Amino acid sequence: MPSLPAAAIPASVVERDGISYWCEKGPGGKRLAISPAGSSVTAAFTGETQGEVFSCPLTPENAAALRAALPHLRPATFGLATSVGFGDRLGLCTPGHVAALRAVGATIRPTFAQQSIREMGRTNRTPRQVLDDATWGTFQAGWTGPVGADADHLHTTADIDRGVEAGYVFFTLDPNDHVNPEAEHATPARCEEMARALDWAALESSFADFMAAYSGHTIDLEDESITLDDASLIRALAKYGDALVDTMTMYRHLEASGIDYEFEMAIDETDYPTKPAEHVVIMSELKRLGANPVSFAPRFVGGFEKGVEYIGDLDALARDFRIHAAIARALGPYKLSLHSGSDKYSTYPLIAEATRGMVHLKTAGTSWAEALRVIARHDPALFRDVLDLSVREFETNRHSYHLSCDLARIPAAPSDADLDDLLTRTDSRQVLHVGYGPALSTYHDRLYACWAAHEDELNDIICRHFIKHLAPFAPWANV
């Protein structure tokens, strides 16, 4: 290994086949360094020779070349291992996420590249940009374990194609737009009418065949059993039948891509909790049709709002976790996936124990909210600008998110000393949490300049925040 220049980030240094790679931080920003400069691998990169070092800008092309040169940076599938998605909206927070993983010390598989198509639209990012940012952050932090890449909350086959093209290996299929909330309280006759009207050809079945297969069927769990009565079956069909059709359309398209992948079915962003019998119907039908999700995200009981603690009865939630986890073991096994998982500290021990570590935690947005602490401490005027914009745009920003914040409880003229605390209070935290789109668009350069100037502090804030997310899963982490 050559002697490292002062600009090198020591944690980033990695050697493979006699070639050294590291990240350097200089006045012009960060660069990739490769030594020796005359090695054959540099032909795949774009840069310039500087003595013994080949220096490269952090471009998309160089990110792809680095993933090709260092296999541990290529997205991998995780199977049933305990895993966490970090949902970094900024492309800056992976070093802090890595630090948290190291501090916890358990074998928890990380998905650093995870962002929904909805969030990409609001942040003006592409699937490839999200992956590349995660690659550079992983490399800088010196993480050499497996990494995932989640094309999150996909609604169309075109969304799938974008993830496949970018190099993702995990696909969260989201048919929530096709879940029928009317079925929750409709009469039995109306439910049967809706069930009979489903696209049974797409489900390769018929209403009569479905009822014959499932009516009176009992699923034996470890401590109880579930018997499928006709009323529950028909209501489950009315509620989720169209969502099953949509999921299979997306699944078949994904399967035809020919890539190595895993997928999750997510129905968490719906109005009503997923009942045990509904879980059984959904996953049994997917299995019958040849689709085998590695994980399933039901809508659990209670409130999973953005950026704040769980709202509801923890005892009821623990019971819900236990029965859904038992179903997942009986029908799979597959993992349960906890969405809107940011800052739900009271729920983590419950779902980790219920699933025995066969769980995927998905966070999104909490890194953005915590990163604003750096802004509050070092540029209070900018923080106020972000807060004011988030309040003004709240009715637009809140679309598609479950929130209970009240704008009237946010102080109109907070002092500098109170700004950090606004990121802890529920109302202001939620408003800022969903205000990322306009804020990043309007104040992009000022925000990123502040984070760059205080990078170590940002990494420390993110690390300490995520230790609280990861530590409850450590005793149950499995590979």
| CB count in 10 Å sphere of residue 301 | 18
Distance between CA atoms of 133 and 68, rounded to whole angstroms? 16
Burial of 28 (0-12, 13-18, 19+ CB in 10 A): exposed
Catalytic residue among 264, 268, 320, 343: 264
The single-letter DSSP state of residue 469 is H
How many beta carbons lie within 10 A of that of residue 115, not counting itself?
29
Asked, as a colleague might, if the bond just before 276 is cis with ω within 30 of 0, I would say no
CA nearest to 147, candidates 81, 203, 241, 196: 81
Q: Which residues of 389-403 are buried (b: 16+ CB within 10 A; e: fewer)?
A: bbbebbeebbeebeb
CB-CB contact of 428 with 387 (8 Å): yes
CA atoms of 122 and 101, how far apart (whole Å): 28
Quickly list H helices, 39-152.
60-69, 94-104, 117-123, 127-141
Count Cβ neighbours within 10 Å for each residue of 236-248 and write b for 16 or more, e otherwise: bbbbbbbbbbbbb
* Partner residues linked to 30 by β-bridges: 25
The first and second tokens of residue 143, run together, are: 């993480």
DSSP 75: B
73 token code pair: 């940076």
Annotation marks residue 264 as catalytic: yes
Contact status, residue 7 vs residue 29, Cβ threshold 8 Å: no
Query: Which residue among 133, 152, 192, 242 is the active-site one?
Result: 152
Note if 152 is an active site residue. yes
Find all residues with CB under 8 Å of 336, minimum gap 6, and list them: 295, 296, 297, 298, 321, 324, 325, 328, 351, 354, 355, 358, 359, 360
- Burial class of residue 17 (count of CB atoms within 10 Å of its CB; 0-12, 13-18, 19+): exposed
Measure the CA–CA gap between 106 and 359, rounded to whole angstroms: 14
The residues annotated as belonging to the active site are 152, 264
